[in-house]
Amino acid sequence: MSDQDALTPRVIIFRHGETEWAKSGRFTSSTDIGLTPAGVAQVSSASAKFVGAGKLVDPCRLALVFVSPRVRAVDTFALLLPPASSGVGADKVVYTEEITEWNYGHYEGLKDQEIRLLRKNGGLDKESEWNIWSDGCEGGESKQQVTERLDRLILHIKETQKPYMRGEKPVDVLLVAHGLILRCFVKRWLGLSIDNPLPMILAPGAIAVLSYKNNDVDKPAFHVGLAPPSEE
């Protein structure tokens, strides 16, 4: 990665740490459920390794932080960038429904097979298996609704970063949210439909980095890998 690439604005996404429902495979959107001890340890470890001056998440380079207002995301953010020590002012932090988890509606708290049985008993999915990416959730959000709110957020981010594509000012953005919605965000960032069959894994407490190719706001991309900062 060239020095100029290192200055290109980035969007860093971070999934909240483990919860009991995530651990057991239950679909969790609006339900407020806290982190497990293992989840706290995941985020604390990530903070120690990746957050700080010259590290992957450098608080001095953050222009905005978008956090889901669900407690598991709020607690994750507080562990990842402790307010007292990170230096990220409250004026940069936005708690927003735009990056909350996909609203699962009637499927909240259910496991995958339970949802499929519920839909089968309701006379659905006779010709093909249920696919949340394309079919959405009964009583919850559709693919189009999720797309629209993510596109609003992406537009906001691009408008913030566009004037500084060559590092004239540090304008990295951090998102702290949930597994499915962040994978949807990646697809929309790349200009793909959220039902595009791009296989992705984003484990609890995982971090990933998006950016732009050739310092061009119209060429959003993702980092397959990042070279660690050189030690001086």
**Is 229 a domain residue?**
no
**SS (HEC) of the chain:** CCHHHHHCCCEEEEECCCEHHHHHCCCCCCCCCCECHHHHHHHHHHHHHHECCCCCECHHHEEEEEECCCHHHHHHHHHHCCHHHHCCCHHHEEECHHHCCCCCHHHCCCCHHHHHHHHHHCCCCCCCCCCHHHHCCCCCCCHHHHHHHHHHHHHHHHHHHHHHCCCCCCCEEEEEECHHHHHHHHHHHCCCCCCCCCCCCCCCCCEEEEEEHHHCCCCEEECCCCCCCCCC
CATH number at residue 18: 3.40.50.1240
**Is 231 a domain residue?**
no
Overall domain count for the chain: 1
pLDDT at position 226 is 78
* Selected residue with higher pLDDT from 63 and 4: 63
pLDDT digits (tens, 9 = 90+) for 101-153: 999 999 999 999 999 999 999 999 999 999 999 999 999 999 999 999 999 99
Q: What is the mean pLDDT of residues 198-227?
A: 94
**Is 232 a domain residue?**
no
**Is 227 a domain residue?**
no
**Is 228 a domain residue?**
no
pLDDT digits (tens, 9 = 90+) for 146-186: 999 999 999 999 999 999 999 999 999 999 999 999 999 99
Given 18, 98, 101, 108, which residue is catalytic? 101
Active-site residue 98, yes or no? no
Mark the binding-site residues for substrate, compressed into ranges: 72, 101-104
Residue-range definition of the domain harbouring residue 41: 3-222
pLDDT at position 88 is 85
Active-site residue 18, yes or no? no
Q: Is the per-residue pLDDT at 231 higher than 60?
A: no
**Is 230 a domain residue?**
no
